[in-house]
Structure formats: structure tokens, C-alpha cells
Amino acid sequence: MNRHQMDEFLCEAVETEAAGIRVYETALGGVLNADWREEWQRDLTGTRRHERVLRDICDQFGIDPGGHAVARGIVRTRAETLVRNR
């Protein structure tokens, strides 16, 4: 894997976690089942932790996690569709 591929991969990973956060937050806003709420809250906490770790890795490598990566747009669009169509 060359440096450009690593940058793209890390940016995509950050976007994937950020999308997961948006999806979990939206789901938690409408969930009625207490067991699901508890499980999704745990998952949201873990996803937020993953995003932080990935952003820290980007910082260490001098990568702008908000930088343009082709796959980021695809991930973002899928997440927005899930959130919008809830």
C-alpha cells in the first residue's frame, strides 16, 4: 500500500465511523425497545471511540481526515440516505 492509498483508506475509515455515528444517533431518537436502546447506545459509544482513534492516527501521519477521498462521498451518501429515510 502506498502513501496515497493509505491516506484514502484512513479518510474513508473516518467517514465510515462518522456515518455510523449519524445512523446510531438517528436510530436512538426513535427507538422504543429498551433493549435495543441499550445495545445501540453501547454501539454508538464504541463507534465514537473508533472515530477518535482514527482521527488521532490521521493526525500522527499528517492526514486531513476531512480531505477529499473518492470513497468518502460514497459512504456519506449512503449514510445520509439511511438517516433521511428512517
C-alpha cell of residue 6? 493509505
Total domains in the fold of the chain: 1
The pLDDT tens digits of the residues spanning 17-76 come to 999 999 999 999 999 999 999 999 999 999 999 999 999 999 999 999 887 667 777 777
Q: Assign 6 to helix, strand or coil.
A: helix
Confidence (pTM) = 0.84
Domain extent, residue 51, equals 3-84
CA distances for 18 relative to 34, 55, 77, angstroms: 24, 11, 12
DSSP 3-state assignment of 55? Answer: helix
